[in-house]
């Protein structure tokens, strides 16, 4: 699968890193936390079905300016600028996890530019605030200097104790009890 990486400078001079994979009807993918334009999970099937996938890096990830994430309005306006630059009139939008608010905002403010909106495990409202303990913990754990180390530890624990980690994380993915069959 061929992926091309690009940079777009918006009207305020902020950088948006993005990739394009495939050819055909365009899909704009808005990732959740900790993802960049290098993400490609699930792309192969879409490309095989004749879609072109445009993936911007989230603000503050890859080479996308973190200032683009200061408010959803500027982020979505930059996505529209990018579509105009690419000469794309309409896109399907796939908004994943923390990309949900951006996808919802884009579809509601620019309905003539969005053919469809797909929300995949998407956040749809304010989830955590700077006052929440989880927010403060996440700022430390996912700081760029700490994040790689964190994921190495998670991989190591997963490799050594897969059942333990699965049991601990199951409640995040299902309402079913671990003992129910």
User: Going by DSSP bridges, is the β-strand pair 51-56/25-30 parallel, antiparallel, or unpaired?
Assistant: parallel
- Quickly state the pLDDT bin for 82 (edges 50, 70, 90): very high
Beta bridge pairs of residue 114: 91
CB-based contact 1:40 (threshold 8 Å)? yes
- Report helix, strand or coil for 153: helix
- pLDDT tops 60 at residue 181: no
Whole-number pLDDT of residue 15: 93
Structure tokens at 142: 């996912």
Residue of 108, 82, 73, 89 whose CA lies nearest to 10: 82
- Quickly state the pLDDT bin for 27 (edges 50, 70, 90): very high
CATH 1.10.240.10 fits 3-127, yes or no: no
**Catalytic annotation, residues:** 97
- pLDDT tops 90 at residue 41: no
What are the φ/ψ torsions at residue 4 (nearest 5 degrees)? -110, 135
* pTM for the structure as a whole: 0.76
Mean pLDDT, the chain, whole residue set: 86
User: Going by DSSP bridges, is the β-strand pair 3-9/25-30 parallel, antiparallel, or unpaired?
Assistant: unpaired
**Alpha-carbon Rg for the chain in angstroms:** 18
**Domain extent listing, the chain:** 3-127, 128-181
CB-based contact 144:114 (threshold 8 Å)? no
């Amino acid at each position: 699968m061929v992926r091309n990486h690009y940079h777009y400078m918006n009207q305020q001079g902020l950088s948006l890193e993005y990739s394009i994979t495939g050819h055909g009807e365009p899909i704009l993918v808005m990732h959740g936390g900790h993802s960049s334009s290098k993400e490609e999970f699930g792309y192969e099937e879409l490309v095989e079905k004749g879609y072109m996938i445009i993936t911007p890096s989230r603000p503050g990830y890859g080479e996308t300016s973190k200032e683009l994430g200061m408010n959803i309005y500027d982020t979505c306006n930059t996505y529209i600028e990018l579509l105009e630059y690419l000469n794309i009139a309409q896109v399907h939008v796939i908004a994943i996890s923390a990309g949900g608010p951006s996808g919802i905002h884009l579809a509601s403010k620019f309905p003539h530019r969005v053919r469809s909106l797909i929300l995949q495990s998407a956040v749809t409202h304010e989830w955590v605030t700077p006052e929440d303990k989880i927010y403060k913990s996440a700022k430390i754990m996912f700081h760029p200097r700490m994040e790689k180390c964190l994921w190495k530890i998670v991989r190591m624990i997963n490799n050594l104790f897969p059942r333990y980690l699965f049991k601990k994380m199951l409640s995040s993915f299902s309402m079913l009890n671990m003992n129910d069959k």
